[in-house]
Structure 1
Amino acid sequence: MKEKACGLDLHKKFILAAIIDQGGTTVEHRFSRTQTDLFALRDWVLFHDCEVVACESTSDYWIQVYDLFVGKIPVIVGNARDIKAISHKKTDIIDAIWIAKLALHDLIPASRIPDPETRDLRSLIRLRKFLVEKRTDLKNQVHHILDSCLFRLSTVFSDIFGKSGMLILTGVTDGKSIAEILATLPVRTRKRSEEIQSILETTLPELAIIRMQCCLNLIKELDNQIETLMQRVHQCVARQTRLLRILTSVPGIGYIAAVTLIAEIGNFTNFSSGDKLASWVGLVPTVNQSADHLRMGAITKRGSRTARWILVEIAQAAVRTRSSRFHAFFTRKVGVIGFSKAIVAVARKIVTILWHLVVNDEEYEETEGNRKQEIRIPKAKQPKFLTLNEMFRILAEANIFLKQSDPHGGG
């Protein structure tokens, strides 16, 4: 049994720390979320001879605290649902003392902490997801502008943001004539020039053009930023080619879905079974049992929200593959439990299969010898390394440049 524990109530701008011992004596202190105060927090905890530090997994605030203490004192990062205080009052100091009490008696289930490399990859993937969602919002705004002006470009192109669609939209915002816009289109698209011309004859108001140009510029910038992020992602997963091959062998999983699973789940072997992994992701039902009454409720939705989201997306893609076992499984379930629950059931089935494949180093096969066509895995662009002679040459040129006098009289 521990003699002394520290509980931390984490906030955006400050941390409230409380230390409690077996006799019930408490010591509290408030620290700012600055680098100096974080080191002061560590020294304060170590000075009081605490045997464990505990905190909630609040946003990303716990990461700096975890890295601060790891290797020096045991750190428990717990789910907020498991640490909720039972009190008629709620204050920061009550929360910190309650966390310390739970840690003192080993009553906080420790959350799974990924390694730094996985955390970095996860931050990249989540930022990419955020940017893609913003890009989608902008594309929907462009659709709204065009539809409100009766500019029905979507009746000709399934994706107006493809190559031909973007040439037309850019031409319209640049003020080009109909003939000039048609001349820029690929030969294959010109076969539908009559339909396109009838749409281009619709006059767009000046304000609509300004709004659309603003959206298109932002979409292009987001495309560039997403591409930059993906180059870094390629570098992060460059040594995990085998794992990518295993994951992408499953129907519905492409490269983006595979790297998202790697980022969110990390090491699959940390889980003792596929069911444990499904439970961690939050794809298992809640259970309420009393005497002879057993009620299975909605899924728990614990764990990574992003992992749960991508697994549902994978399930929806997998059931569209009519020759797959997932489609057959979905067809059996959908008539009984409905579309949404059937998709979640497929997602859970997929995550348990993924665990088995990764742990046993196997690729998915529908039938013996019948494998999904391999997906091309992008290669990371390696940064250029300079030789020693090249470095000396660059330094010499920089030295010559610095010795030159300022032509504007700067000396």
Structure 2
Amino acid sequence: MILPKEDRELRALTRARKGYVDFRSKLKARTIQELEACTIKLASELSDVFGKSGRHVLQGLVDGRSADVIVESIPSKKVKKNKEKIKQAIIAGLSPISIFLIKSHIQMIDEVDKKLVQLDAQISRLLKARKRDVEIAMSIPGIGFVSAAAILSEIGDYRNFASGKKLAAFSGLDPSVYESAGKRYNGKITKMGSKYLRRMIIECAHALSRTKAKTQLKRFFLRIMARRGKNIATVALARKMLVVLHHLLINQEMYKDDGLAKPKNVKVSFSEESNYPSLDEMIEVLVGAGYFVKKDSQGG
């Protein structure tokens, strides 16, 4: 099946984005490993080493500032309450080689973040024509803008799939079937299909399984988990989400569930003056990348 040009471009962009995100994750892991090689256990004291406070501590370490100076100038009051523990975690300091490596990793992470902002702008440009489809996908708990873009890019024209089950089969989430003693059994998933779609929808299923709302999808997950375990339940949930998504897209309906206290806010707006996302959307992307963004009173 040959996709139209815009669909091919969107798919290329979302796959490139996934590659950049994976690369950034590896850089972050290497940074933490380098810290631990210097007996600095920062990850045990901060929930996000690369968040606002974490970056402040990292910058202080590579700049050669003392532990006292670093912890006293932490911007977050909440994190600062644990300043003694953080101080003990970083008091060993860094060797010159570790400073060089960590500084290099941080610089590359920042470059990747910039590329991701650019990619998100291009992805948003191509998604303007599918605004309604994006909102429908995002109405399902566990699916955000980035994952909706990736899922829709992999699916292409959802009307090419006769049913949600066909779409699930395309993602490789259908169970394999085998016979034994004249009986038919379901085995592991086939994994014959789009690995990108399969990985993304499974990530969304993980996100949905961690939500507190007792939606129909969450109850489905809990039932399967009680009988078959968490891993199988997550895969089953991912398949269910694809089937539900196909139904919603075909009927152009938003996801509704009595288990949701209030409908999920899924209004996606694009700037009318350009092909780029609106200011609020760009800020959301930057915050997701770990930056601290503050708008002034004039909205700049």
Range class of TM-score, shorter chain: 0.7 to 0.9
Greater fraction of residues in strand: 1
* Structure 1 residue matching 2:3: 3-state secondary structure: coil
Other-structure match for 2:46: 157
- What is the letter of the counterpart of residue 2 of structure 2? I
Deviation at 1:379?
3.2
CA distance in 2, matches of 1:290, 1:198: 60
Instruction: Choose from 150, 160, 168 the match for 1:270.
Output: 160
Q: Structure 1 vs Structure 2: percent identity of aligned residues?
A: 33
- What is the letter of the counterpart of residue 224 of structure 2? K
Deviation at 1:337?
2.4
CA change 1:154–1:242 in 2 (3 A) is: same
Deviation at 1:339?
2.2
What do residues 135-193 of structure 1 show as CA deviations (whole Å, max 9, x unaligned)? 10110111111122221222321001001111111121122344553464315244443
Question: What are the within-5 Å matches in structure 2 for residues 206-217 of structure 1?
Answer: 206-217=96-107
Deviation at 1:196?
3.1
Matched, 1:174 2:66: no
CA change 1:136–1:268 in 2 (3 A) is: same
Other-structure match for 2:231: 340
* Structure 2 residue matching 1:204: 3-state secondary structure: coil
Other-structure match for 1:330: 221
Contact 1:364 1:371 (C-alpha < 8 Å) held by counterparts: no
CA change 1:187–1:305 in 2 (3 A) is: closer
CA change 1:183–1:378 in 2 (3 A) is: farther
Matched, 1:352 2:243: yes
Other-structure match for 2:211: 321
What do residues 22-46 of structure 1 show as CA deviations (whole Å, max 9, x unaligned)? xxxxxxxxxxxxxxxxxxxxxxxxx
* Structure 1 residue matching 2:94: 3-state secondary structure: coil
Question: What are the within-5 Å matches in structure 2 for residues 158-237 of structure 1?
Answer: 158-178=47-67, 180-182=69-71, 184-186=73-75, 188=77, 189-237=79-127
CA distance in 2, matches of 1:127, 1:320: 27
Matched, 1:148 2:42: no
- What is the letter of the counterpart of residue 219 of structure 1? I
What do residues 251-273 of structure 1 show as CA deviations (whole Å, max 9, x unaligned)? 11111110011110011121111
What TM-score do you get using the length of structure 2 for normalisation? 0.83
CA distance in 2, matches of 1:335, 1:160: 34
Deviation at 1:216?
1.0
CA distance in 2, matches of 1:370, 1:331: 19
Deviation at 1:372?
3.4
Deviation at 1:361?
1.1
What do residues 80-110 of structure 1 show as CA deviations (whole Å, max 9, x unaligned)? xxxxxxxxxxxxxxxxxxxxxxxxxxxxxxx
CA distance in 2, matches of 1:257, 1:335: 27
- What is the letter of the counterpart of residue 25 of structure 2? T
- What is the letter of the counterpart of residue 255 of structure 2? Y
- Unpaired runs of 5+ residues, structure 2, are 277-300
What TM-score do you get using the length of structure 1 for normalisation? 0.62
CA distance in 2, matches of 1:283, 1:250: 19
* Structure 2 residue matching 1:296: 3-state secondary structure: strand
Contact 1:318 1:324 (C-alpha < 8 Å) held by counterparts: no
What do residues 44-79 of structure 1 show as CA deviations (whole Å, max 9, x unaligned)? xxxxxxxxxxxxxxxxxxxxxxxxxxxxxxxxxxxx
CA change 1:372–1:147 in 2 (3 A) is: farther
CA distance in 2, matches of 1:376, 1:164: 31
Deviation at 1:240?
1.8
When structure 1 is superposed on structure 2, of 294-303 and 126-135 the one drifting more is: 294-303
CA change 1:368–1:195 in 2 (3 A) is: closer
Deviation at 1:215?
1.0
Other-structure match for 1:19: none
- What is the letter of the counterpart of residue 332 of structure 1? R
| Pairwise CA RMSD | 2.4
What do residues 226-249 of structure 1 show as CA deviations (whole Å, max 9, x unaligned)? 111111111111222211111111
Matched, 1:135 2:24: yes
CA change 1:196–1:369 in 2 (3 A) is: closer
Contact 2:139 2:264 (C-alpha < 8 Å) held by counterparts: yes
CA distance in 2, matches of 1:146, 1:282: 39
- The structure with higher relative contact order (CA 8 Å, sep 6+) is 2
- Unpaired runs of 5+ residues, structure 1, are 1-111, 385-411
Aligned length in residues: 273
CA distance in 2, matches of 1:143, 1:378: 37
CA distance in 1, matches of 2:67, 2:186: 62
Greater fraction of residues in helix: 2
Other-structure match for 1:306: 196
CA distance in 2, matches of 1:187, 1:276: 49
CA distance in 2, matches of 1:301, 1:342: 16
